[in-house]
Amino acid sequence: MSFSLDKSDPNFTKQVAARSGQNIASCYQCGNCAAGCPAGFAYDIQVNQIMRGLQLGLKDYVLQARSLWFCLSCSTCSLRCPNNIDVAQIMETLRHMARDEHKVSVSAVDKFFKSFLTTVRFLGRSYEIGTMVLFMLRSGHLTTDVDLAPQALLKQKLSILPHKTPPNVKATARIFERFLKGKHKQVNN
């Protein structure tokens, strides 16, 4: 993936630092984060290169990286960083910013995230078949993995009905409301 330093935006670096709470300038490119990343084989830009792109303010280079959507949020990069940078938190922040800027580069993954979160928001916990159906409708991939469903049902890995609703389902809904209100404020400020 190529980039041009002409497109450098120092404000972008400041925004990511503020939203993630991380000191981006302290990265000295040791590469420890990328060396331990289990998803690196699928990335178009390795995670240390994302950090470098951030320091240089390369907004498009960073926000359009496919790597953001293949990240597993495992936090290995954060644990390995000698400068205590929470790199996984930065990756999460970048996913939010890519959504806000309509720069999501792997839309199927984002649609899956949203489908999963919809079930958690309304049922208080994940519901696999609900997630699959919502994903199929959102993505238009109406036959994705349908052939696996009978085996998964037989082995009781999928339940037709949602799992028993936990008693704190309203509390979970309130977490989503708080998040959405916070986001609304950010957009209007």
Which positions touch ligand SF4 (CB under 6 A)?
A: 27-33, 37-39, 47-48, 51, 71-77, 80-83, 85, 87-88, 91
Distance CA 14, CA 176 (A): 27
Residues 6+ apart with CB under 8 A from 154: none
Angle in degrees, 0-180, between the axes of helices 87-100 and 10-20, rounded to the nearest 10: 120
Please choose, from the candidates 176, 85, 162, 87, the residue with its C-alpha nearest in 3D space to the C-alpha of residue 130: 162
Q: Closest CB to ligand SF4 among 68 and 132?
A: 68
In whole angstroms, give the CA distance from residue 102 to residue 68.
14
DSSP one-letter code for 144: T
Least Å distance, CB 105 to ligand SF4, is 15
Residue number, 97 or 123, with CB nearest to ligand SF4: 97
Q: Give the pair of three-digit tokens for residue 183.
A: 């986001």
Q: Pick the closer one to ligand SF4 by CB: 84 or 151.
A: 84
Nearer to ligand SF4, 86 or 127 (CB): 86
Question: In the 8-state DSSP scheme, what is residue 32?
Answer: H
Residue nearer to ligand SF4 on the CB measure, 79 or 173:
79
Dig out the tokens for 7 from the structure.
């497109």
Shortest gap between Cβ of 58 and ligand SF4 (angstroms)?
Answer: 16
CA distance 151 to 153: 5
Quote the least distance from Cβ 65 to ligand SF4, whole Å.
11
- DSSP 8-state class, residue 124: S
Nearest distance in Å: CB 68, ligand SF4: 9
Q: How far is the CB of 30 from ligand SF4 (least distance, A)?
A: 4
Closer residue to ligand SF4 (CB): 65 or 134? 65
Question: CB of 76: closest distance to ligand SF4 in angstroms?
Answer: 4
